[in-house]
Structure 1
Amino acid sequence: MALGQKRNTPVVREASRALDQLKYEVAQELGIQPPEDGYWGTMTTRDTGAIGGNITRKLVALAEQQLSGQSR
């Protein structure tokens, strides 16, 4: 793997912008101030883990709804 290459790229390229927006929405819901410069590397592990965990919960719930044929 080349230096600086991302390993977790979205399967659907167009989803990248939506996932990024979701990250900011979840941070706001949790009362976590997102970095102004857009670089998340200086945030605490606890905060980024909380954001990631909540994103995962939301995506799993969305997938379960779609699989069961229910809408939001």
Structure 2
Amino acid sequence: MASNRSNQLIVPQANQALNQMKLEAAQELGVQIPADGYYGNVSTRDAGSLGGYITKKLVQIAEQQLSGGMR
């Protein structure tokens, strides 16, 4: 399936890590990930929960890196 995304990753190698984070977040939140990768049938609430959870995790990672990993 072709994608019309306008967002481009600054570090393309991060795509695999972001996908892994998405899978872990979905599993932890109990959200079913579509096998075909199409999220159009995922409820708005579930998609928002995934996005919020991933953002929270990314902020935590950045804070740890900025503080020298001491947490």
Common fold, TM-score beyond 0.5?
A: yes
Return structure 1 stretches of 4+ with deviation > 2 angstroms: none
* Cα shift at 1:63: 0.2
Structure 1: runs of 5 or more not aligned: none
The residue type equivalent to 1:38 in the other structure is G
- Per the alignment, residue 39 of structure 1 pairs with 38
- Per the alignment, residue 8 of structure 1 pairs with 7
* Cα shift at 1:65: 0.3
Superposition RMSD in Å: 1.5
Q: TM-score, normalised by structure 1?
A: 0.85
Structure 2: runs of 5 or more not aligned: none
Q: TM-score, normalised by structure 2?
A: 0.86
Q: Percent identity?
A: 55
- Aligned residues, how many? 69
* Cα shift at 1:8: 1.6
* Cα shift at 1:71: 5.4
